[in-house]
Structure 1
């Protein structure tokens, strides 16, 4: 499986599975370049190797502009997912297999080019070919661009929140804050996801679905200044206050049975999570 596309910046990018140790080593280096990880946080090459051997994914994006070869020197991003099982309750219940997408990274100079979304779509294609219906991953609820991709562009939903998921992180992007994470659920063949990926209207007019539109019952806002606050020692208390307040609101909303089903940005660039009750065949609120 491989795919090639041209970015808005006119760069030609190839996505395929990693091959050989040199390409896996390049994935290790991307972690350091993107997150500034210390040795204790970096996923080593042998874990990538094992991931491939046990049915997981290590997909990479290569800059092949101007006829450049897809070699480790031109690896500009990667996505890694491990096979997992979700326990089921009740007597005789069968655990549900899924893929846990643990990492996705794109070098800074290649961001805002759609490469992250293309890597997720390549993961989806490969996962469905292997028989998986569900992919999960965690993400920082304070990261506005990432939240927009996960919810609005990919169609994931969220029903769980874990505070300080990884403990203390050496990532410069974390800003010294607790590693709180939302758990994305990507039901890859759901009507919601199929509609969002095809840019189709979320609810077809004049159908029973039109009478079952999911309404947004609560919103949770992330200030557009959050990135600056996290990276500034003087303002980290403000970032921590937002994280603490939003943590409480997410946990209370999830306890009431709500799910994150939408994410928008307003005119000022603030991120807005939309929460409501999620149930197929209803996709979401109507999309722009």
Structure 2
């Protein structure tokens, strides 16, 4: 697998098409013109290539100068390519003087949460309600676009997974009748669906109920000065005080 900054017209067009295929939409997720502007302004469009096959791509721009940070706008990859692609993006950022990276993701997608918080060691620092407004791609259509913002210390190693699962008092019940929020008085755990993409497709009303339920836990927890630091294999977020 080769990870390369893409600068040519044909390569940029391939990446724009790849993003549209991943998000199952005929509308550009990021147009070729936008990608060219990002690259020309000093950002990076990085492609993962398995021979001639495009297996993943990610795009980043710089944050404010004083922050020594970059913002990852979008990433998509074939199975098994996500981690090395993200590490290639980290190497690019470090090589340009950045020490942190931020991006957003859907709080209900547990596999992304586990990748971000456990495999990379990022921390969720913000919850935003309906971040983009209505989205019309084949993955998010019909749902509100709540997003979590993660901050990744590019110089740190991934943190070890915390031992044990949720324990303590059940504070809220999930739409499926099981526990949603559990607290031991210090830590809070919040459960999300194991596969919200399939749930949206099969039962949009249930997915919308999960969105509002999880939103309530996170907005209260963040107002109380907490951050999300981990995601268990069975879809429980861990929220701890900063």
**Separation in 2 of the partners of 1:102 and 1:38?**
19
* Aligned residue number for residue 196 of structure 2: 226
44, 50, 63: which one pairs with 1:84?
63
**Per-residue deviation at 1:45?**
1.1
Aligned pairs (5 A) from 1:79-228? 79-85=58-64, 95-106=66-77, 110-111=78-79, 113=80, 115-189=81-155, 193-196=156-159, 217-228=187-198
* Aligned residue number for residue 67 of structure 1: none
**Per-residue deviation at 1:228?**
2.1
Give the secondary structure class of the aligned counterpart of 1:259. strand
**Separation in 1 of the partners of 2:25 and 2:145?**
14
Length-normalised TM-score, structure 2: 0.85
5+ unaligned residues in a row in structure 1: which ranges?
1-12, 65-69, 86-93, 204-214, 279-288
**Separation in 2 of the partners of 1:162 and 1:195?**
25
16, 30, 37: which one pairs with 1:43?
30
229, 239, 246: which one pairs with 2:207?
239
Q: Aligned pair in 2 of structure 1 residues 46, 142: CA closer, same or farther (>3 Å)?
A: same
5+ unaligned residues in a row in structure 2: which ranges?
163-184
**Separation in 2 of the partners of 1:19 and 1:225?**
36
**Separation in 1 of the partners of 2:67 and 2:59?**
20
* Aligned residue number for residue 91 of structure 1: none
**Separation in 1 of the partners of 2:233 and 2:101?**
25
Conserved 8 A contact 2:229-2:238? yes
* Aligned residue number for residue 283 of structure 1: none
Larger mean Cα displacement after TM superposition, 154-163 or 46-55: 46-55
Conserved 8 A contact 1:59-1:79? yes
**Separation in 2 of the partners of 1:33 and 1:187?**
31
**Separation in 1 of the partners of 2:129 and 2:13?**
31
Give the secondary structure class of the aligned counterpart of 2:232. strand
Q: Deviations over 1:249-284 (max 9, x none)?
A: 111111111101111122xxxx11101124xxxxxx
3, 6, 9: which one pairs with 1:21?
9
The runs of at least 4 consecutive aligned structure 1 residues that moved more than 3 Å come to none
Conserved 8 A contact 1:56-1:81? yes
Length-normalised TM-score, structure 1: 0.72
Conserved 8 A contact 2:110-2:231? no
Bigger Rg over Cα: 1
* Aligned residue number for residue 172 of structure 2: none
**Separation in 2 of the partners of 1:195 and 1:246?**
25
Conserved 8 A contact 1:175-1:230? no
Give the secondary structure class of the aligned counterpart of 1:173. coil
